[in-house]
Amino acid sequence: MAKLKGRNAIVTGAAVGLGSSYAKALAREGVNVAVCDLREEIHEVAEILRSLGVNAASYQGDVSDPALVRSVVDGAQEEFGSIDILVNNAGILRDRMFISLSEEDWDMVMKVHLKGHFCLANILGRRWRDAAKAGNKVDARIINTSSGAGLQGSIGQSNYSAAKGGIASLTLVQAAEMARYGVTVNGLA
């Protein structure tokens, strides 16, 4: 993965679990990483990334908040000079059987998963498109986190399954639309 050294990434949902693992793996390959999460631990993750020898920035907040997302993109771009990779990983669970699920639990999961995956990709996608149209070479990546639950369903997770299925579909559309601008889009499930 020597091709990654010196590139710049944003990873959401990076305070714990997969997101933290993605951020650390990128840093070990020489990628500068901006991490974002609601949890306070996100600042500790940035310190760990710096200890791996890369530049790192941390942002605490909700990835479905357009103002926060703009500050993440603007701040990371100012810190690193460019953004080449987006790993959309932020997510939450509000597990209940479908008939016991509240509208609030449905909306919260859709907001974090679907809107959260949309917000950063939309802002960065516009910037990458504009750069490509201006004649600049773009070599960018979006990696979206889906789930087997989104592909096959999961009892007690109708909201999560629907959101993750939406992310799988979103990934297919993003890949088809963004390829012409030099952006590769993939999903992990």
- What tokens were used for 177? 């639309």
Active-site residue flag, 181: no
Catalytic residue selected from 64, 146, 158, 160: 160
Strands across the sheet containing 140-145 = 56-60, 32-37, 8-12, 85-88, 140-145, 183-188
Q: Hey, is 111 helix, strand or coil?
A: helix
Q: Which residues of 127-153 are buried (b: 16+ CB within 10 A; e: fewer)?
A: bbbebbeeeeebebbbbbbbbebbeee
Q: Which two tokens stand for residue 15?
A: 């305070």
Tell me if residue 64 is catalytic: no
- Exactly one of 146, 147, 158, 161 is catalytic; name it: 147
Nearest to 120 by CA among 161, 62, 173: 62
Please confirm, yes or no, whether 102 is among the known catalytic residues.
Answer: no
Count the alpha carbons within 13 Å of 16 in the hemisphere toward its beta carbon. Answer: 6
Active site residues: 147, 160, 164
